[in-house]
Amino acid sequence: MIVKRPPLSLAERLYLPAIWGGFKVTLRHFFKKKVTMQYPEEKWVVPEGYRGAPYLVRDQDGHTKCVSCQLCEFVCPPKAIKITPPGPNGTADRANAEKMPREFEINMLRCIFCGFCQEVCPEEAIFLMKDYALTGASRNEMIYDKEKLLALGGVHQDRIQKWKHKAEEAAQQDVFPVKP
């Protein structure tokens, strides 16, 4: 089957209508409001519920909240978290904590920002921050160790400190009147 096409006019052969149509689109966009964001100076406002990068936090006294229970390591789908627990004589930097992690690493290249680590943490030591610009010049720079995670996470000002309340409750339970 052969389709007959009408011959092109002189203007169509010179592509003037197509060029004029392109100019119209360009002029229409030229007078619109600019939507380009100057990124380093301007940043997006992240919505509520945004899951950013996980960081470790300290309590108000400056102590590490992580007790090396390794639940976050076990629940992490891409296995981005690596915790090295202390040896048998491991010490904690705060009262009422049995142990602290010797090493705590999160490979940000593997992390999928799912938030499981924050949900499973019994001590509320991991929080997802609202940052979205993670950069590094090499792969090794994207493996965050405990010191870097604590520095980026900062101090978490929560009103409830589980270990203090448990210590107070235990102290109150030990003070019972002795029956003769």
Q: Residues 103, 106, 108, CA angle at the centre, nearest 5°?
A: 155
Question: Which residues lie below 8 Å from residue 53, measured CB to CB, with a gap of 6+?
Answer: 108, 111, 113, 128, 129, 131, 134, 152
Q: What percent of the chain has pLDDT over 90?
A: 39
Distance CA 112, CA 115 (A): 9
pLDDT digits (tens, 9 = 90+) for 139-169: 999 999 999 999 998 887 765 555 555 555 5
The 3-state DSSP class for residue 104 equals strand
Distance CA 55, CA 117 (A): 10
Nearest to 149 by CA among 177, 92, 108: 108
Structure tokens belonging to residue 57? 């936090």
Q: What is the DSSP letter of 111?
A: -
CATH class entry, domain 54-158: alpha beta
Token pair 């010179």 in the structure block, residue: 14
pLDDT value of residue 174:
54
The lowest-confidence range among 24-28, 36-40, 90-94 is 90-94
Q: What are the structural domain ranges in the chain?
A: 54-158
User: Which pLDDT band, with edges at 50, 70 and 90, does 75 fall under?
Assistant: very high
